[in-house]
A and B are shown apart, each in its own frame.
Chain A
Amino acid sequence: MEQGADRAGEQGAELERLQADLDEARQQLEATTEVLTTVARSPADSRGVLASLVETARRLIRAEIAQIHLIEGDWYRLASSSGLSEEYLDFVRHHPIAMDRQTLIGRVGLERQAQQIRDVLADSEYGRQDIQEIGGYRSILGVPMILDEEIIGVLSAWRTEVDPFPERAIQVLTTFAAQAAIVIRNADLVSALESGQSELEAKVDQLEALGEIGQAVSSSLDLDQVLTKIVTHAVELTEADGGSVFEFDELSEEFYLRTTFGTSRDTAEALQAIHMKLRETLVGRAALQRKSLQIPDLRLVDCDPHLAVLLSRGWISVIAVPILRDQQIIGALVIRRKTEGGFSEELGELLETFAGQSAVAIVNARLYAELARKSAHLEVASRYKSEFIASMSHELRTPLNAVIGFSEVLLQRMFGDINDKQEEYLQDILVSGRHLLALLNDILDMSKADAGVVLEPSVFEVRPALEECILWVSDKAGRRGLRIERDYGEEVETIRADEKRFKQVIGNLLSNAGKFARSHIEVSAHNDGDMLTVAVSDDGLGIAPEDQGIIFEPFQQGKRPSREEGTGLGLALCRQYIGLHQGDITVQSELGHGSTFTVTFPLDLPPSQPEEAATGDAVPAGPVVAIVEDDPRSRELLCLYVEKVGVGFVTASDGREGLDLIRRADPVAVVLDIQLPTLDGWDLLALLKADPHTAAIPVVVVSMVDERSKGLALGAAEYLVKPVRGEELRAALRRVTGRPQGDRVLVAVGEDPDLPASLQAALEPEGWTVLSARDEVEGEALVRQNRPAVVLVDLLGTGTSGLALVEALRNNHLTEEVPIIALAPPAMTAHDKERLQGQIDLINRNGEFDVSKLVDVVHRATHHVLPPRDA
C-alpha cells in the first residue's frame, strides 16, 4: 500500500511535472504564435516586434532581464530590452560591449553558439565588472542571432541569483533569436524598400517636373509663364516655401526680378525696388563663382539688400543658384525657406538643372524678341525697298527715254545728215542707254522675284517653247557665225510650268551661250523621271572653278573679256525662277573647254500657292473679310493682317472678281484697293453701296493716294493710305465690324465741335459711340449707314437745313422711328417749334448746352420715355 501510495505520489508528481511541462510548452507555443503573428503583421514596426519578442522570451524562460544586442561596426549595440533601468541603459550606451571574451555576449559572437555563465562573479575571464555592478546579474544565457550564416547580434537573458538556465531555456531563446533575426531582416528589407520607393518617387517627381518645364520651355515663348512654372516646381520639389527668378542686365550689372512663387505681393514689390548689384549680393557672388551659394540662417549673417528684404519678411534660409549659358550670366534662381537649415547637395544639383532650363527659356525668349524686332524691321525695309525700286525704275526711265529717243532720231537722220564719227558716238550712246534699260528691267524683275512672284502655271509644249527661245538669239548667233545644234529626246512633249518664266530662263542661258561660244551652241532636252532637263552648252572660254559658285549671285559675272554686255542679274534671276518651280540649275565648265548650264523643271508643277486657293471659289466657314487687291504681295500682306484679327478671308485680284466675291461670300467687311484692273475701286465701292444687299457691308479703302474725303463720301467706312501697317488695318477692321448697329450709337449733327466731343466724353464710358456730322447731308448719310439709337441735331447754326434734316429723317420709312433730339436756339420761331412738336424732343439752348441734361434726355429717348413736350 505504501508502495502504492508512493507510486501514487510519484505518479502524481510525475503528472504534475508533465502538466507543468505541457503548460510551459503551451505558453511557449502561444507566445511563439503571438510573436510570429506580430512579426508577420507588422513588418515595418521592427522596434515594437523586437520589444514584444524580448519580453515574451524573458517571461518564458523566467529571466529577470532579456535583451538583444546587434553588431554595429566593432561593437554590440543594445537594440531592445526588457526590464532594464535607465541608469543601466545610459551606461551601456556610453560603454558598449566589445567583440571579445570579456563578456558573455562577446563569447557568443566568437563561438557562434549558445553560451552560459553560471556565475559571472566566479568567471575569471569575465572582464566587464563595471556593467555587472550596475546590472547585478549572476547567471547569464546568450544565443547568437544568425542571418545567412552571419552573426548579426545576440539575444541574452540574466538572473540576479546564481540560477543557471535549463536546456529548455536555451532552446526557447534559440527559437526567439531566429525569429528576431527574421524580424530584423524584414525590417531592413522594408526600410530598404521604403527608401527605394521614396527615392524613386522623388526621382519621378523631379522627372515629371523637368519634363513639364522642358515642354514649357520649348513650346511657350511667354517667358514669365515658363519662369513661373520653373520656380514653382523648384520650390515644390525642394519642399521650400518660396522662390524667385532674377534676370541679369549686363549693362547695369544688376539683377531684376522676373517672377516669384510663394511670395507675398509686398515682398515681390520690395524685391523689385532694390538694386541687386552683381558684386554686392549673394546672388551676384553665386553668379560670379558659377556655383550655388546658400545661407542656412539669415539671422546669423550680414545681409545684402536682397537678403535684408527677405529676412525682414520672415525668410530664414536661402540658396542662390546662378542661371548661366555658356558661362555667361543670364540670371539667378533663388529658393528660400521660412525655417533655418541648409539645402542638401542633391537639392542643389536639382536646382542647377532648373537653372539650366531657365537659361534656355530666357535665351529663347531673348532670341525670339530679337527675331520679332528684326522681322518687323525687315518687313518695313523690304517694303521700302520694293517701293524704292519701283519708283527708281520710273525715275530713271524718264531721262533714258530722252537719251535713247534723241539718239535714234539723230541716227535716223531725221534732221539732217551726220558724219561717221558722230554716228559712231551716237551708236555708243544708244547702246549704253539700252544697256542701262536692260539693267533697269532686270532689277525690277529681281525685286519682283524677291517680293514673291506668283507663278502662273499652264501646260505647254516644250519644243516650240525652246525653238522660240532659239529664235531670239539666232539673229545674233548668225552674225557671229555660230551653229545651233539640238538634241531633243523623243519623250519630250509637254510640261506644266510658268511658260513666260520658263522661256526667260532658257532665253537667258542661250543669250549667255551666244556671247561666249566660239563655233556652236548645243541645246538638249530630255525627260528624267518626273523632271525635264534642259542643257545649254557653248564651246567658249569656260568658267574658272572658283567663279562657278558665285555666278548665280546678283552682279557676279566671273572673269570675262568684257563687261560690256549683260547686266549680271540674268543668272541670279534664272536661279530664282527655277527655285520657284522647285527645279535646279547647275553649271559644268572647264577653262578653255566651254560651259554647260543644266536646268531641271518638274514636269507637273505642284500647285503650291495657297493664296491661289483663297482666290478661288471656296468661302471659308464663319465670318470672313473680303480683300480686293491686285498686287499679290500687298494682298498677301493684307491677308496676314486680317488673319490676325481672327476672322477668315477671301480674296480677289480685280474689281469684277471682287464684286462677284463680295456678293457671294457676304463678308463682314471689305478691304478695298482703289487701283484695280477690270473695275476700279471707286466703281466697285459705288456698286456695293448702290446694292441694298451689300450696302451695309463696311468697306475699308486701302489706297496709294490720300483721297479720304472722296472715299468717305462714296460710303467707305474707313480710309487708309498705303503702306498700311498691320495694327492700323486691324484697328480699322475692329472699328468697322465692332461698330454696334443701332444700339448705343448716337449721331450728332451740328457745327459746334464741342457738342459731339462732350457727348462722346460723357457717353463713351457707357459704351456709346458718338458719330458726328457737320451738316445735314453728312448727317443723313451717317444715319442711313449706322441706324443710330438716337440722333441729336443742333439747330444753332444749321438753321433751316437742320429742320430739313429732321423732316427728311421723319419722311424716310427707314429712319422715321429714330428718336431725334433737337437743340433749339433762343431765336427759334414759335412757328418752327410748332413744326417740330410731336416729332422730336426739343431742348432749348442758350449758347451753352448742359451736357448732363442732354445725357438724361438721350437716356430717356433711347428708353422711349419721352420728356414733357415743352421741356
Chain B
Amino acid sequence: MTMADRQVLVVEDNPTNMKLVRDVLTHDGYTVIEGTTAEAGIALAHEHLPQVILLDIQLPGQMDGLDAVKRLKHDERTMAIPVVAVTALAMTQDKQRALDAGFDGYLEKPISIDALREVVRLLVDRRSDDGD
C-alpha cells in the first residue's frame, strides 16, 4: 500500500480537535488532509479521493455535515468512500439522523483515541482489501 492509499480527509472546524486527530492519525502512518467547512471538505474529497472521511456534523457556513454527506453519497466519484461522523451531538436522534443521512459510522465526541484508531484502521483496510 502506498502512502496515497492511506489518505484520511478530516473535516473539523475546531483547531485543537483537528490537531488531536491529525497527530494520532499521522502517528499511525496516514496522510491527513484537512478541511474546516463542508464545502471545502467536498472539494478536497473530489481532489484527493481519500480512503476515509471523518466529518464533523456541526460546521460553519451554509452546509453542515449532513448536507455534505448527502452530496458525497450522491456523487459517483465519492459515493464509495466511507464517511464517519465525528460529532458532539449526543442525542439518540442525532445519531439516527446521521446514519439516515448516509454516514457509515458515528464517533461521539469526546472521541476515544482507541476507537478512532480502530475505526480508521478497519475502514482503510476494507478499502485496501476491496482494491486487492
Q: Please, how many angstroms separate the alpha-carbon atoms of A680 and B16 in the complex?
A: 32
> Which one of B1-9, B17-25, B33-41, B43-51 contacts A?
B17-25
- Asked if B109 and A415 sit within 8 Å, CB to CB, the answer is no
The answer to whether B93 touches A404 (Cβ under 8 A) is: no
Q: Which residue of A lies closest to B113 (CB)?
A: A408
Set B20, B24, B100: member contacting A401, Cβ < 8 A = B20
Q: Which residues of B contact A753 (CB under 8 A)?
A: none
Give chain B residues whose Cβ lies under 8 Å from the Cβ of A397: 88, 90, 109-110
Whether B113 contacts A409 by the Cβ 8 Å rule is: yes
Measured in the bound complex, the distance between the Cα atoms of B35 and A482 in whole Å is 50
A403 touches B90 (CB 8 A): no
Q: What 10 pairs between A and B have smallest CB-CB spacing?
A: A397-B88, A401-B110, A408-B113, A405-B20, A401-B109, A404-B110, A402-B16, A394-B88, A677-B100, A400-B110
Q: Are B93 and A677 in contact (CB under 8 A)?
A: yes
Q: Which residues of B contact A (CB under 8 A)?
A: 14, 16-17, 20-21, 23-24, 27, 58, 66, 88-91, 93, 96-97, 100-101, 109-114
Q: How far is the CA of A408 from the CA of B113 in the complex (A)?
A: 7
Identify the closest chain B residue to A675 (Cβ). B97
Closest residue to A410 on the B side, CB-wise? B113
Task: Pick the contact of A405: B17, B27, B91, B101 (CB < 8 A).
Answer: B17
Q: How far is the CA of A433 from the CA of B90 in the complex (A)?
A: 16
The number of chain A residues with a CB under 8 A from chain B is 32
Q: Decide if A631 is an interface residue (CB 8 Å cutoff).
A: yes
Contact status of A408 and B112, CB under 8 A, knowing A393-B90, A398-B17, A399-B16: yes
Q: B93 near A678 (CB under 8 angstroms)?
A: no
Most chain B CB within 10 A, of A400, A401, A408, A677, is at: A401
Question: In the complex the two chains form, is A402's CB within 8 Å of B90's CB?
Answer: no
CB distance from B39 to the nearest CB of A (A): 16
Complex Cα distance, B58 from A395, in Å, reads: 11
* A406 in contact with B20 given A397-B110, A398-B109, A677-B96 (CB within 8 Å): yes
Residues in chain B near residue A395, CB distance under 8 A: 88
B27 touching A437, Cβ below 8 Å: no
Contact B112 A401 (CB under 8 A): no
Whether A390 sits at the interface, judged by CB under 8 Å, is yes
Chosen A-B contacts, 24 in total, with CB atoms closer than 8 Å, are A393-B90, A394-B58, A394-B88, A397-B88, A397-B109, A398-B14, A398-B109, A400-B110, A401-B17, A401-B109, A402-B110, A405-B110, A406-B20, A408-B113, A414-B23, A441-B90, A444-B90, A444-B91, A448-B91, A631-B93, A675-B97, A677-B96, A678-B100, A680-B66
Chain B residues, CB < 8 A from A440: 90
Q: Are A437's CB and B110's CB within 8 A?
A: yes
Task: Judge whether A630 is part of the interface by a CB distance below 8 angstroms.
Answer: yes
| Interface residue? A412 (CB, 8 A) | yes
Q: How far is the CA of A408 from the CA of B96 in the complex (A)?
A: 28
- Given A405-B17, A631-B93, A677-B96, 11 more A-B residue pairs with CB atoms under 8 Å apart are A394-B89, A398-B17, A398-B109, A400-B109, A402-B110, A403-B110, A414-B23, A415-B27, A675-B97, A677-B93, A677-B97
Q: Which residue of A lies closest to B112 (CB)?
A: A408
Q: Chain B's nearest CB lies how many Å from the CB of A448?
A: 8
* Binary interface encoding of chain A residues 431-452 relative to chain B, with 1 for a CB under 8 A from any of its CBs, else 0: 0010001001100100010000
B90 engages A405 (CB within 8 Å)? no
A400 to chain B: which residues have CB within 8 Å? 109-110
State the CA gap A472–B93 with chains docked (Å).
24
CB distance from A260 to the nearest CB of B (A): 57
Distance from B38 Cβ to chain A, minimum over Cβ atoms (Å): 14
Chain A residues with Cβ below 8 Å from B100 are 677-678
Q: Is the CB of A405 within 8 A of B111?
A: yes
A433 and B27 contacting across the interface, CB-CB below 8 Å? no
A434 to chain B, nearest CB (A): 9
List residues of A (629-646) whose CB comes within 8 Å of B's CBs.
Answer: 630-631
The distance in angstroms between the C-alpha atoms of A395 and B109, with both chains bound, is: 11
How far is A403 from B20 in the complex, measured between Cα atoms in Å? 10
User: Which residues from B are CB-within-8-Å of A408?
Assistant: 112-114
